């Protein structure tokens, strides 16, 4: 069992629990995002990257196919549970953002934990939902300078929060020793509890 290739129940459970920790943060983050909105100038987009962080952190920890999608989808649906508001749009966004990260991780074949991979995934996730926003929020009808500002802020935020911060969290988790439980799955894992 220790060397099983696909996702085991334990892998899925750890992924979902990581996602739900972030779901709580997402819910609090929603308040930060809303408070920044009336300031205009899309300052709120600077915190947008937090919403992709679950996928990147879960991937860095488990590094198996499918983890990024499950994590981001679970975090998005977890957010709807914590907020007591079922939101299809949120889940769709989660799915798309998870998929974008997943593609980046598939390209590096689920091996690399480099900072650049995390940053690329964050940027990919930031770009992934723009088409949806374009239709939903009529972004094409925004004044051009404003639109450029918004996209720029969002990509920057994806790189910084979902990329750099996620990687920093991963390194911090490594120091706690908890990653020995999930990463390589050594045969004497019972000693590591």
Q: What residues line the site for another protein (CB under 8 A)?
A: 1, 7-21, 23-25, 34, 37-38, 40-42, 57, 61, 70, 74, 78, 80-82, 84-89, 92, 135-138, 141-143, 146, 150, 165, 168-169, 172-173, 176, 178, 181-182, 193
φ, ψ dihedrals at 148, nearest 5° = -60, -40
What string of DSSP letters covers 9-20?
A: HHHHHHHHHHHH
Compute how many other C-beta atoms are within 10 angstroms of the C-beta atom of residue 133: 14
Nearer to another protein, 40 or 111 (CB): 40
Q: How far is the CB of 95 from another protein (least distance, A)?
A: 11
Q: Which is nearer to another protein, 8 or 113 (CB)?
A: 8
Smallest separation, CB 88 to another protein (Å): 4
Nearest-approach distance from CB 122 to another protein, in angstroms: 16
Q: Is 155 or 165 the residue whose CB approaches another protein more closely? A: 165
**Minimum distance from CB of 86 to another protein (Å)?**
4
DSSP 35: H
* Crossing angle of helices 53-62 and 67-82, rounded to 10°: 140
**Distance from the first to the final alpha carbon of the chain:** 17
Residue 1 or 109: which CB sits closer to another protein? Answer: 1
At closest approach, how far in Å is the CB of 84 from another protein?
5
Cα 30–178–157 angle (5° rounding)? 30
* Residue 105, token pair as written in the block: 């991780």
């Amino acid at each position: 069992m220790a060397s099983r290739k696909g996702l085991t129940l334990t892998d899925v459970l750890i992924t979902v629990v990581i996602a739900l920790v972030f779901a709580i943060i997402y819910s609090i983050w929603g308040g930060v995002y809303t408070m920044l909105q009336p300031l205009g100038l899309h300052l709120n987009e600077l915190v947008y990257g937090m919403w992709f962080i679950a996928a990147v952190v879960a991937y860095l920890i488990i590094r198996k196919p499918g983890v990024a999608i499950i994590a981001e989808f679970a975090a998005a649906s977890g957010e709807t549970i914590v907020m007591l508001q079922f939101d299809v749009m949120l889940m769709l966004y989660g799915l798309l953002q998870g998929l974008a990260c997943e593609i980046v991780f598939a390209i590096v074949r689920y091996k690399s934990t480099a900072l650049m991979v995390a940053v690329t995934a964050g940027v990919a996730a930031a770009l992934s939902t723009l088409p949806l926003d374009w239709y939903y929020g009529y972004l094409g009808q925004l004044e051009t300078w404003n639109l450029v500002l918004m996209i720029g802020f969002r990509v920057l935020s994806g790189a910084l929060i979902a990329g750099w911060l996620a990687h920093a969290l991963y390194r911090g988790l490594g120091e706690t020793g908890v990653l020995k439980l999930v990463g390589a799955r050594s045969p004497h894992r019972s000693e590591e509890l």
